[in-house]
Amino acid sequence: MLIHLRQVYYRLYATDGAIKSFNPIYSNNPFISGILPKSLTPPHTALSLKKYLCKIEGLEGSNASVFESLSSDVAIADSTRLKLRGHFDLGASSREPIALVVGVSGLKRQSDVSRAELELIKNPDLHETRYIYYRVYGEEGEVNSKAAFNESDTSLGRIDTLSIAPPCTVASLKSRIVKVEGIEDQDIQLFEDTHGEILMNDADRAPFFAETFPGCIEDYPLAVVYGPKTPSSTSTMTKAIRAKYSFRPADGNAGWHAHSVGEILHTDGVRTTSSYTYSQGNQIGSTGYMAVNSAGREACK
């Protein structure tokens, strides 16, 4: 009895975004490809799938991960047996492909598998393109986005949700924006809107495939704020505080923030005591918070 082996669809990603396939099957989408299950070494596990995909795509597989779908939060364990034959199993549709994610270091590609030159067809089942919109800010205000699409509003950028590598987290989103904007050497903060009151945490889930999500509407974009890298980490500075008065520290108090009325900073909520020197030369211990301003600078508040 002849068993029909349907194609297993997949997409490739580095941690900072989608990768074009060496073996595209559609003329209108170079990111989607497919294999037949018979090509995999038995038994069909996540590891055998990963090894074969890395081979035909010229990728380094030592740090690669396989995800059941683009919306998966957790990679499949290498030893997991995969169901790849049925029409409701993994990778059964180009709209619900398996995802192979490799580290950025795995992008030196050289495939040793040649594929016959075939006339590609158009994918009749393309996703409607959905975007995440964001504005880009430096320390002194808005700056031009490299993903701008409106000549009259050049700080507004957008990226395709399908260009973001699984898992669907804020960290994945930030990695993609950093790559697109070319700001790898900067400290990045991502806010849910341009008011800057809600700082997004790297570990939080980002529901790109839900009906609505932060940044899905052009008029309500995310805010990307970047500045020079600092030695200290700001990942725990997630609680928003608003300044009730303006303050400019006296000379010699570089460890304290200058701020204006209504300015929003972010803190970990832990009260701390730090020395402060007044203009008369008197030094006392003042209680406050370590906080991060919109430029990414951490100091006492």
Mean pLDDT rounded to a whole number for the chain: 82
Model confidence at 243: pLDDT above 90: no
Model confidence at 49: pLDDT above 90: yes
> What local confidence, expressed as pLDDT, does residue 105 receive?
46
Q: What is the mean pLDDT of residues 281-297?
A: 69
Listing DSSP states for the chain in one string gives -PPP---EEEEEEETTEEE--SS--BTTBTTEEEE-GGGSPSS-BHHHHHHHHHHHHT---TT-EEESSTT-SSPPPTT-B---SSTTSTT-BTTB-EEEEE-GGG--------------B--TTPPPP-EEEEEEEETTEE---TTB--TT-TTEEEEEGGGSPSS-BHHHHHHHHHHHHT-TTEEEEEESSTT--SBPPTTSB--TTSS--TT-STTS-EEEEEEE--SS--TT--EEEE-SS-B-PPTT-TTB--B-TT-EEEEEEEEEEEEEE-TTS-EEEEEEEEEE-TT--EEE-
Q: Which CATH architecture has domain 131-228?
A: Roll (3.10)
> What local confidence, expressed as pLDDT, does residue 290 receive?
80
More confident residue, 301 or 159: 159
- Condensed to tens digits (0 to 9), the pLDDT of residues 17-39 reads 999 999 898 888 899 999 999 99
Q: Which CATH architecture has domain 8-106?
A: Roll (3.10)
> What local confidence, expressed as pLDDT, does residue 234 receive?
46
Domains 131-228 and 239-300 alike in fold:
no
Q: What is the mean pLDDT of residues 247-265?
A: 68
- Condensed to tens digits (0 to 9), the pLDDT of residues 194-239 reads 999 899 999 898 888 888 999 999 999 999 999 887 655 445 767 7
> What local confidence, expressed as pLDDT, does residue 92 receive?
87
The listed CATH number (2.30.29, 2.40.10, 2.30.30, 2.10.240) that belongs to domain 239-300: 2.30.30
- The residue extents of the domains of the chain are 8-106, 131-228, 239-300
Q: By C-alpha distance, which of 116, 120, 10, 6 is closest to 57? A: 10
